């Protein structure tokens, strides 16, 4: 693994959503080290994207989304789940990439415990809510700089090649026709299997 090579400010949000695939999301939790390979992302854009939280401007809830690129935007949904996003674009733009799923690599027993001991490895972080539960991420990390510990990104293994596929985003009603969800094709750890696309 290596340091991430993404320039979150200069690369557009769609490109960041693609490039993040294969990167490691790492967390030095109180229980131990957790990491997983990002296998699924979704881009949310500031223009012509009604599904984006920034579509109606800045609020107290989405303020971190308008912050510095490369920082986190974490929100609470359905009264139960946190969702983890990477802020992209220039400060004030209001764009982000939702991390939808990772393939667990390290800290699998910790993830299992955090999920209540009721899931398989394939299902530990196969969705944005599941991911945050598995890692133990909550809004205390909202606005966190992802180049700093304890929550950070590491670059992909150079020897691992994969095919990237774009699809419609999942679980939204507005803007669902946009092909802004990106997956590592053939991964078993996606929130929605390719056969169900």
Q: What domains lie within the chain, and their CATH numbers? A: 13-196 (3.10.300.10)
Rounded to 5 degrees, what are φ and ψ at 171? 75, 25
d(CA 81, CA 131): 10
Answer whether residue 196 shows pLDDT above 50: no
Q: Where is 133: in which H helix or E strand?
A: helix 128-135
Structure tokens at 124: 């530990």
Q: What is the separation of C-alpha 154 from the centre of its chain, rounded to a whole number of angstroms? A: 13
pLDDT at 1: 56
pLDDT tens profile 19-78: 999 999 999 999 999 999 999 999 999 999 988 898 888 999 999 999 999 999 999 987
pLDDT at 22: 95
d(CA 107, CA 113): 10
pLDDT at 125: 97
Angle formed at CA 38 by CA 114 and CA 20, multiple of 5 degrees: 140
pLDDT at 171: 84
Rounded to 5 degrees, what are φ and ψ at 3? -65, 145
Name the CA radius of gyration of the chain, rounded.
Answer: 15
Q: pTM value? A: 0.93
d(CA 148, CA 101): 21
With contact defined as beta carbons under 8 Å apart, do 136 and 114 qualify? yes
Nearest to 34 by CA among 190, 150, 187, 129: 150
Answer whether residue 95 shows pLDDT above 70: yes
pLDDT tens profile 10-34: 789 999 999 999 999 999 999 999 9
pLDDT tens profile 96-149: 999 999 999 999 999 999 999 989 999 999 999 999 999 999 999 999 999 999
pLDDT tens profile 141-177: 999 999 999 999 999 877 678 999 999 998 887 877 8
Structure tokens at 102: 């990772």
């Amino acid at each position: 693994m290596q340091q991430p090579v993404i320039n979150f400010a200069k690369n557009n949000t769609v490109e960041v959503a693609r490039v993040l695939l294969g990167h490691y999301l790492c967390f030095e939790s109180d229980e131990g080290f957790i990491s997983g390979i990002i296998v699924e992302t979704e881009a949310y854009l500031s223009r012509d994207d009604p599904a984006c939280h920034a579509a109606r401007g800045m609020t107290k809830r989405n303020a971190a989304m308008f912050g510095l690129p490369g920082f986190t935007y974490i929100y609470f949904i359905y009264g139960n789940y946190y969702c983890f996003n990477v802020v992209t674009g220039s400060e004030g733009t209001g764009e982000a990439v939702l991390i939808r799923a990772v393939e667990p690599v390290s800290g699998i027993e910790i993830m299992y415990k955090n999920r209540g001991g009721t899931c398989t490895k394939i299902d530990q972080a196969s969705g944005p809510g599941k991911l945050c539960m598995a890692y133990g991420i909550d809004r205390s990390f909202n606005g966190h700089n992802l180049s700093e510990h304890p929550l950070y990104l590491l670059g992909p293994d150079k020897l691992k090649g994969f095919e990237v596929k774009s699809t419609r985003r999942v679980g939204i009603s507005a803007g669902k026709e946009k092909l802004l969800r990106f997956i590592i094709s053939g991964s078993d750890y996606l929130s929605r299997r390719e056969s169900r696309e």
